[in-house]
Each structure stands twice: as structure tokens, then as C-alpha cells.
Amino acid sequence: MGVTCVSQMPVAEGKSVQQTVELLTRKLEMLGAEKQGTFCVDCETYHTAASTLGSQGWSAMVRSQLTATSTSQVQVILLPQPSQVAGIIGQTGKLMYVMHNSEYPLSCFALFENGPCLIADTNFDVLMVKLKGFFQSAKASKIETRGTRYQYCDFLVKVGTVTMGPSARGISVEVEYGPCVVASDCWSLLLEFLQSFLGSHTPGAPAVFGNRHDAVYGPADTMVQYMELFNKIRKQQQVPVAGIR
Amino acid sequence: MSGVRAVRISIESACEKQVHEVGLDGTETYLPPLSMSQNLARLAQRIDFSQGSGSEEEEAAGTEGDAQEWPGAGSSADQDDEEGVVKFQPSLWPWDSVRNNLRSALTEMCVLYDVLSIVRDKKFMTLDPVSQDALPPKQNPQTLQLISKKKSLAGAAQILLKGAERLTKSVTENQENKLQRDFNSELLRLRQHWKLRKVGDKILGDLSYRSAGSLFPHHGTFEVIKNTDLDLDKKIPEDYCPLDVQIPSDLEGSAYIKVSIQKQAPDIGDLGTVNLFKRPLPKSKPGSPHWQTKLEAAQNVLLCKEIFAQLSREAVQIKSQVPHIVVKNQIISQPFPSLQLSISLCHSSNDKKSQKFATEKQCPEDHLYVLEHNLHLLIREFHKQTLSSIMMPHPASAPFGHKRMRLSGPQAFDKNEINSLQSSEGLLEKIIKQAKHIFLRSRAAATIDSLASRIEDPQIQAHWSNINDVYESSVKVLITSQGYEQICKSIQLQLNIGVEQIRVVHRDGRVITLSYQEQELQDFLLSQFVMDLKVAARLWFSFLVTNVKTFQKVMFYKITNGVIFVGHSKKFSGIKWKVEILFIKWSCLCLHLALVYYDFFQMFPKEVSRNFDLKCLQINYKHKEEITSKRVLFLKIIIRKCLFSTFKLFTL
């Protein structure tokens, strides 16, 4: 697990998504990267159901549900405190994202927008079914990115097509630098590498890096970046993708 | 005392007056205490004259006193009256009773005196000794004791005998009932060895290893049935058992896993031939009932099936350089080129038909019992691992699986980490490695033995270590020449035989790795032989040289580098000396020739055309080349010198 940077590649003018992806992959292959299979990152959105009991009751019910039905092993970075829960109830319809990443095949990630990120094993999905009363999935919310995985020395590059339903919405580029786990140490190296094949579309430093400057980078941060990317793409939804012929 | 003030001391009598009467108004009337005389009378009356120093005399006196009291009373009537008065008037003179007792004693004594005086005269009364009848009364208590003891012992013996009788009766009953055993008691015995449960009206048992950690999907249930085909009229057979077990049909018979290594290449037509030579059943314990042997055999069949299933699964799934072939009941793999390892499941049912067709295609020596045993051990180890605390979940609600695998979700392990957790050798790989090692070891031993038998001088000794690993053995090889054992200690090799290669550690620190090729080891050992010979020859030569040197010291001849140059002797130029020197020179020449001969022609017939690409032997071969070339050069020099000196000798 190394420092990862997720960015979006804008579709080239006059070309379709697929063509841009092909361009990118060709550039990578010319660079000398080897193809190592495919990857997939997906995300589902859930609303917290507003029509439920008061905060105390909610948390108590949730806790009892969790203890009664949880068979999954859960390692939490930050547990939602009752005060936070109350805050959530106050703002109706706070979104929770449940994400999977093929890079971590046995894990499941659950995160709130600016809140905690939970890493659990795949039984968490079953748990979400049990918590239907409290988390309702938003309509047509599933968004995912699929593509090929390239290995270039210490770098792992994943170029994927972001799709929502049947339509392709954009391109995601993820670059991971394996040996380093502290973001601030290797950002410049990453930047240089990104510039070598992204050219002018190189992104700036992700917000996640700024938050925890010297802290160890973890998979949760990657998922946060993906979540932000998906949200950005979803907002672009209104603008139709020009160039699909 | 005079200076001390007098202290007043009050004295009070302890005894209070006895209360005679308590009046209605609470006043107490005391009994007047006894006066001195009254007290005295009371005490006198308490004197017991029957108690005295001698009890018998006193008794006699007492009884006689009592008996005589009335006659005594009659003899002195007036005294009697007085006594009678005295009896009713206790307040009289206190010594009355004393006086009466004394008087009666006196009377008795007088009577006794009279009787004795009459007896002394022997006229009217004589003394007769009392017969011994008085003795038995003395022994009576002892016989009584004996008799009573005897009686009580007889009573105890009776009880014990009764109990013994009962026991013998029950034992004989048991013996009789052995043949007619109860179904329930037999069921109890069965339950002590196997797990049983009742389903409906059937009794089922479990003979699989699932409770011991196996994951094989076979159910392994057997049924317990009552043996009711007993004809009560006929005699009950010796081995009758009221209980019978019915094992699943696919577990009938006996099975074992045959592991063998063959050198021939597998012929496609031969593959899949079922090796069905029936191994004699392992002897069951003499006292065990027939159902026990049956169930144990079935369990063994199940275990063999599991082993074979696991092996074949791995043979198909695991990718290896040379793919394994799985045909019917055989798994064939090639650990080394031109070597074939075949693992087969030999399951022979108890039918009489199949026994006829059992033919032994391969000789039993092929079968490697060690590997079969190891297979059993490995599968049991696998079973135990599934039950170990690494696999068993803590807390109990956690999912099954390896401890670290359970954490892989919450800790977001990526593929590399998951692979590192899961990488472990399968059963087949382990067995193949073991087979390779066994084969390599046996071949190394055969090579050493063949060399030892072929070459008599120098001798090779091999000391095999007893402490070996499944994958590694070691042997210490010594090459010595006869007579030079103490000197030629330098040729000592330690061979570590591994799975695919042999590592040789020389005494002087060199470490050489040989591959599994048989010829490499043989060549290497032969080269060591030659080294030993060289050392021996050099020593012999040096011995010779030292001899000559001392000779030279005496004779003033120069010797350089083992090659003797005949110096121009000034003093001693006799032919005799020259001949001697010549003789020595020629013998050295012969020795050198012999060495070269050994080097070149004896040991390495193919040396010239040999392919020197073998990296591991390059050092030795190079060395050899140099030495032999040097030697040839030496030879030339010596020959020239010898010839020259001979000519000189004859010309001079």
C-alpha cells in the first residue's frame, strides 16, 4: 500500500471516452508499463432515513442491530459518536457511500462526506441489507470505474472508464507509488511521473494529502479521493458528454 | 516482726447451717449443727470394717462377721438387747459399731482357733488336701475364650464362604453369558469406541474424521443393526455377536496408498492400470470384536480416499513445470527427468472374485513405505491445523479461516499480502520433495558403495548421520590410503544431500554444489581419490627424497626440487655411488610415470574428450590439467637427466 493519487482525465476534444482511454494506455505502454489485468472500483450511495426515531433511539437501535447481526470483522478509524449521529439526524439525508476496490478484494469501505471512513470485510454488504430501515439507497446511484492495471517499476497505474449505468461519464486515472507511505515525501516524484504521461492534464495535490501531511497514507484515503472524483463526475452529469458518436 | 503493725484478720467458718425449714414469712430455721460427739458418732459409723489391708481375709472376716453376727448376737443376749437398743438409738456412744465389729471378729477368731486346735490333735478332725478340681475353674475363662473365639470365627468364615460362593456363581454365569451377550451391553462397548446417535429407530454412527478436522465431504455413517439370525436350537457359535455394523458400500474392503519410484518412462498404454496387489490386512488386536476391525478398516479406506482426493486435486490445480498426470487411481509425476513417481490408491474389496485377478505387476520392494506413512502423517497434520487456534475463530462469532485472513478485510490487505498469507505447500508438493530427497540419498549411497567395492586402494569410508530431516541428510566421507591414514587426513568430505542437489564441504573449506546427476558425484569422488593418491605418492617420494638428502649430506651431492642433479663431486666419484644415485633417479622417474599413468589413463579414460562445462568441477579439472602438464614437463627433464647421467657414467 503506497501513496496514491486519483485524478480525472478530461476527455480529449473530438474524441470519445474510449478513444481517450486508448490514447492513454498506448502512451503508458510506450513508456514501458506492463499490463497486469483489470481493476474495478464501485460506489453506492445511501441516504440516512430521516423518518426514524430520535437520536438516542436511533443509535441504540443501530447498536443493537449491529451486535445482533454483525458477523463481519470491522476495523474502524473513527466510530460515529452519538453527537455526530445526532448531527446526522439533524441534517436529513446525509449521504453514506459504500465502496469496493478490487485492489483490496476482501474489504469493503463505508464513508461519509467529511466524516469517518470504515474499513470492513465483505460481510458489511449483508449488514447493509439488514440496515435497510436506516439507510436507503439512492436511486440510480451506483457508479463505478473499470479499466486496466499497469505496472511500471514501482508505480501502479490504473486507467479506468467511469460509468454510471450504461453510459460512460469520464476517465479516472490512479497512480500508486508503492515504496512510500508518507504523502509529503513522494508527492513531487508522483507529480513528475504524472506529468510524463498526462502532460498538461496533471492534477494538483489531492486534498487528502493536505489534511494529514506526515501521517501514514492508507487505503481509506484512496477511497476518499475516489468518492470525491465520483461526486465531481456526477455533478458533471448535467452536461452531456460531447463527442460520443 | 516487732515493728510491724498487727493486722486484723477475720475468720469465718465456711460451712453454713443447713436449712431445716423456711417459714411463711421468709425466716429460715436452721438445723443445729452436729455437736462434737454427734460428729464423732457419725464418722465412726462410716468406718467399713470389710475394707482392710488384706482383702480376702477381710472378706472372709466380713462375711463371717456378718454370718456370725446373729449367732454372736445370740450368744450374748443381753448384749444383743443392748445392741438392739443401740441400733435404734444412733445418738449413743459412737464406738458401738466399732465394738460390735471387733467382738464379732474376736468370735470368729476364737472359732478358728478352736477348729485348728481340734484338727491338730487329729482325733476328731483331719485335714485333707483339696483335690485339683479347684484348678479347672481357674482355666475356665481361657477355654471359654477359645471356644467363643472359635465360634465367632466360624461365624465370620460362614459369611465369607457365602460371599465367595456367590462370586463364583456370578463368574460362571458371566462365562456362560459371554456367548449369549446382551445387545445393549455390546452396544455399550461399541459406544466406548465410536460415536453413535439415534435417528428415528435406527442407530447410526460416524466413522469419518470430520470431528478430528477433516474437510472431506464423505458422510462416513454406518448403521448398527441387531443380529437376530440366531438359531436358538443350534449351538451358539464362538464368535457370535448380537450386534452387527453395516458400513457404506464404497468403504468396504481394505485400501492403502502405494508410492513408488520407477526409472522407466511412462508408457501411455500402461497408465491407469490398477495395481491391485492385496496387502495382508493389518493384524487386529486379539481381543477386539469383529465390528471393531470392520470399522477400522472402513475408516482407513476413507482416509486413503481423502489423501488421494487431496493429491489429485492438487495435481490438477497446481501448475508445475512438468504437469502431473492423474489417471484413474494413479497420479504420476516426474520429480527428475527419466524418473517417474507414481502414487496410487489400491483399494481391494473383500469379494472373492477380485482376488483371483490380483496380480503383482510391480515387485513390493518398489513401494516406499516411508512415503506412505508420511502421507498419512501429513493429512493428519492438515486435519489438526483446521482445528488449531489459528483457524478456530476468537471470538466465537467471528468467521472461520486463518487468523490473519480474517483481518485482511478490515485491514485492507492487497493481493500481494493475501497471496503471502495463503502460500503454503500442498500435500503433493511435499511428497514429491520427500521422494526426490529419498531417491537422491539412495543413489548417493549406491554411488559411494560402488566406488568402495570397485577401488581397493585408496579406501573410501562413509559415515551416515542418524539425525536427518525429511528434506536433508548428511554423510561424512573419508578417503584414506593404507598406511597413510594419519597423514592423509586432508581428504574429508561432508556431503549434505538435499532435495535437488548435493552440497560438498571439503575439509579445507571449499564448498562445492553438485547437481542431482549421478555422474557428477562419481567424478567428484574419483577426483578426490586421485588427490589422495597424489598425497600418498608425494609422501613416499618425499620419504625417498629425505633419504637421499641425508645420503647427500653425507656424500656432498646437490638435490634440488626433488630432482636430483648429479653434481660434480670432487671427492667421491666412485662408480658405486653413481650407480646408487642413478638407481634412485630411475625409481623417481618410475614413480612419476606411475602418477601420470594413474592420472591420465586409469581414472579418466574419457578425460581428453570430456566436456569441461561443468562449472562445479572446473576447479579440479583445471588443477589437474596444470599438474599433469607440469608433470609431463618434469618427466621430460628427468628422463633427459637420467639418460645424460647414464651416458656420463658409462663414458667416464
State pLDDT tens for residues B371-391.
Answer: 888 888 888 888 888 787 777
**Percent helix, percent strand, percent coil in chain B, to nearest 5:** 50, 15, 35
Residue B494 structural domain: 436-541
The residues near B384 (Cβ < 8 Å, ≥ 6 apart) are B212, B213
* Number of structural domains in chain B: 2
Lowest average pLDDT, out of A10-14, B339-343, B355-359, goes to: B355-359
Write down the residue that cell numbers 597413510 correspond to: B484
The ipTM assigned to this model is 0.70
The residues near B569 (Cβ < 8 Å, ≥ 6 apart) are B555, B556, B557, B577
The residues near B652 (Cβ < 8 Å, ≥ 6 apart) are B573
Instruction: Please choose, from the candidates B215, B207, B194, B208, the residue with its C-alpha nearest in 3D space to the C-alpha of residue B387.
Output: B215
* Greatest mean pLDDT among B125-129, B193-197, B535-539: B193-197
Indicate the pLDDT class of residue B299, thresholds 50, 70 and 90.
very high
The answer on B320 and B244 residing in a single domain is yes
pLDDT of residue A145: 93
pLDDT of residue B95: 79
Q: A-chain residues within 8 Å CB-CB of B415?
A: 103, 105
User: Could you tell me where the DSSP H helices lie in B388-513?
Assistant: 403-408, 415-422, 427-454
Size of interface A-B (CB pairs under 8 A): 52
Taking the CA of residue B417 and the nearest CA in chain A, the distance in Å comes to 10
* Greatest mean pLDDT among B55-64, B390-399, B423-432, B622-631: B423-432
pLDDT of residue B135: 54
Write down the residue that cell numbers 510391480 correspond to: B362
- Measured on CA atoms in the order B47, B50, B51, B57, is the torsion positive or negative? positive
Of B397, B398, B418, which has the smallest distance from its Cβ to A106's Cβ? B418
- Phi, psi values for residue B451, rounded to 5°: -65, -40
Indicate the pLDDT class of residue B337, thresholds 50, 70 and 90.
confident
Q: Does B393 touch chain A (CB under 8 A)?
A: no
Residue of chain B whose alpha carbon sits nearest to that of A121: B409
Q: A-chain residues within 8 Å CB-CB of B397?
A: 71
Q: Does the pLDDT at position A226 exceed 50?
A: yes
Separation of alpha carbons B397 and B406, rounded Å = 12
B177 lies in some domain? no
Residue B170, CA distances (Å) to B166, B177, B182, B242 in order? 6, 10, 16, 21
Separation of alpha carbons B176 and B619, rounded Å = 84
Indicate the pLDDT class of residue A35, thresholds 50, 70 and 90.
very high
* Lookup: cell for A63: 447498536
pLDDT of residue B579: 65
Q: Does the pLDDT at position B68 exceed 60?
A: no
pLDDT of residue B357: 46
Q: B-chain residues within 8 Å CB-CB of A218?
A: 412
The answer on B256 and B374 residing in a single domain is yes
- Measured on CA atoms in the order A104, A110, A114, A115, is the torsion positive or negative? negative
The answer on B442 and B372 residing in a single domain is no
B565 lies in some domain? no
Q: Is the Cβ–Cβ distance between A8 and A173 less than 8 Å?
A: yes
Q: B-chain residues within 8 Å CB-CB of A220?
A: 412
- pLDDT-above-90 percentage for chain A: 27
Of A71, A106, A218, which has the smallest distance from its Cβ to B408's Cβ? A106
Q: Is the Cβ–Cβ distance between A142 and A164 less than 8 Å?
A: yes
Indicate the pLDDT class of residue B160, thresholds 50, 70 and 90.
very high
Q: Does the pLDDT at position B137 exceed 60?
A: no
pLDDT of residue B278: 59
Q: Does A68 touch chain B (CB under 8 A)?
A: no
* Lookup: cell for A226: 475516489
Output the average pLDDT for chain B.
Answer: 75
Separation of alpha carbons A164 and A146, rounded Å = 11
| Beta strands A117-121; A107-112: pairing state | antiparallel
Residue of chain A whose alpha carbon sits nearest to that of B399: A71
The answer on B381 and B480 residing in a single domain is no
Q: Is the Cβ–Cβ distance between B375 and B430 less than 8 Å?
A: no
Q: Residues B525-565: pLDDT tens digits?
A: 888 887 777 777 777 766 666 666 665 555 444 444 444 44
Give the residue-averaged pLDDT of A104-119: 89
pLDDT of residue B607: 41
* Greatest mean pLDDT among A165-174, B353-362, B543-552: A165-174
B295 lies in some domain? yes
- Phi, psi values for residue B257, rounded to 5°: -100, 125
Q: B-chain residues within 8 Å CB-CB of A122?
A: 409
| Beta strands B559-560; B563-564: pairing state | antiparallel
| Beta strands A3-9; A95-101: pairing state | unpaired
Helix, strand, or coil here: B393?
A: coil
- Describe the strand order of the beta sheet including B243-246 as a list of residue ranges: B195-199, B202-206, B221-226, B243-246
* Lookup: cell for B40: 464423732
pLDDT of residue A151: 93
pLDDT of residue B634: 65
Amino acid, res. B403: K
Q: Does the pLDDT at position A47 exceed 80?
A: yes
pLDDT of residue B163: 95
pLDDT of residue B421: 78
pLDDT of residue B214: 86
Q: Is the Cβ–Cβ distance between B215 and B379 less than 8 Å?
A: no
- Phi, psi values for residue A160, rounded to 5°: -135, 155
Give the residue-averaged pLDDT of B279-289: 68
Burial of B605 (0-12, 13-18, 19+ CB in 10 A): exposed
User: Could you tell me where the DSSP H helices lie in B318-368?
Assistant: 352-356
The answer on B527 and B455 residing in a single domain is yes
Crossing angle of helices B183-193/B290-317, nearest 10°?
30
Lowest average pLDDT, out of A17-26, B225-234, B400-409, B524-533, goes to: B225-234
Residue B82, CA distances (Å) to B11, B41, B73, B75, B96 in order? 43, 17, 10, 13, 10
Angle (CA) B250-B256-B257 rounded to 5° is: 115
Lowest average pLDDT, out of A51-60, A113-122, B30-39, B194-203, goes to: A51-60
Q: Does the pLDDT at position B143 exceed 60?
A: yes
B485 lies in some domain? yes
Which of B 51-110 lie inside 8 A of A, CB atoms? Answer: none
The answer on B340 and B202 residing in a single domain is yes
B338 lies in some domain? yes
| Domain end position, chosen among B499, B526, B541 | B541
B237 vs B532, more confident: B532
Q: Does the pLDDT at position B403 exceed 80?
A: no
- Phi, psi values for residue A217, rounded to 5°: -80, 140
State CA B439 to chain mean position distance.
32
Q: Does the pLDDT at position B619 exceed 50?
A: no
Which residues share a beta bridge with A144? Answer: A42, A163
Q: Is the Cβ–Cβ distance between A41 and A242 less than 8 Å?
A: no
Q: Is the Cβ–Cβ distance between A223 and A99 less than 8 Å?
A: yes
The answer on B468 and B371 residing in a single domain is no
| Domain end position, chosen among B541, B557, B577 | B541
| Domain end position, chosen among B503, B523, B541 | B541
The answer on B325 and B210 residing in a single domain is yes
For B169, what's the count of Cα atoms within 13 Å in the CB-facing half-sphere? 6
B334 lies in some domain? yes
State CA B559 to chain mean position distance.
70
The answer on B377 and B446 residing in a single domain is no
Burial of A217 (0-12, 13-18, 19+ CB in 10 A): buried
Taking the CA of residue A144 and the nearest CA in chain B, the distance in Å comes to 19
Give the other-Cβ count within 10 Å of B242's Cβ. 16
The answer on B383 and B473 residing in a single domain is no
With residue B489 as reference, give the H or E element that holds it.
none
User: Could you tell me where the DSSP H helices lie in B55-207?
Assistant: 55-75, 77-88, 96-121, 135-179, 183-193
Give, as one character, the DSSP assignment of residue B430: H
Indicate the pLDDT class of residue B651, thresholds 50, 70 and 90.
low
Lowest average pLDDT, out of A224-238, B159-173, B547-561, B620-634, goes to: B547-561
pLDDT of residue A61: 46
Taking the CA of residue B403 and the nearest CA in chain A, the distance in Å comes to 12
- pLDDT-above-90 percentage for chain B: 13
Best mutation site among B407, B411, B416 for testing chain A: the one with the most A CBs within 10 Å?
Answer: B411
Give the residue-averaged pLDDT of A166-174: 89
pLDDT of residue B324: 86
B422 vs B557, more confident: B422
pLDDT of residue B390: 73
The residues near A102 (Cβ < 8 Å, ≥ 6 apart) are A38, A39, A40, A41
Is there a contact between A72 and B409 if contact means CB atoms under 8 Å apart? yes
Is there a contact between B410 and A218 if contact means CB atoms under 8 Å apart? no
Instruction: Please choose, from the candidates B87, B88, B98, B84, the residue with its C-alpha nearest in 3D space to the C-alpha of residue B46.
Output: B98
The residues near B79 (Cβ < 8 Å, ≥ 6 apart) are B73, B103
Q: Does B396 touch chain A (CB under 8 A)?
A: no
The answer on B509 and B448 residing in a single domain is yes
Give the residue-averaged pLDDT of B393-405: 75
pLDDT of residue B490: 67
For B39, what's the count of Cα atoms within 13 Å in the CB-facing half-sphere? 5
The answer on B469 and B339 residing in a single domain is no
Give the other-Cβ count within 10 Å of A31's Cβ. 14
B562 lies in some domain? no
B258 lies in some domain? yes
